[in-house]
Amino acid sequence: MKQEGLKYFTDTNLTAVGLIIFFAFFVGLLFWVYRKSSSEIYIEMSRLPLKEENSK
């Protein structure tokens, strides 16, 4: 019955590609975020909420 409606789901290549894209995104994100050289900027970023204390 629903086979026709779901045909493109049975395409293992397509689902595999989807999986790889998602997985690669996350691994890439992890690597990017945890690069050593970015420590300084992240410290700076995390201080943004605390920086605006010169209000009058």
* Residue 44 Cβ vs another protein, minimum distance, rounded to whole Å: 6
The span from the CA of 50 to the CA of 48, in Å, is: 5
Compare residues 9 and 20 and give the one whose CB is closer to another protein: 9
Instruction: Determine, following the binding rule CB under 8 A, whether residue 52 of this chain makes contact with another protein.
Output: yes
Q: Which residues, other chains included, contact 14 with Cβ-Cβ below 8 Å and sequence gap of 6+? A: 8
* Interface ranges with another protein (CB under 8 A): 1-6, 9, 18, 22, 25-26, 29-30, 32-34, 37-38, 40-50, 52, 54-56
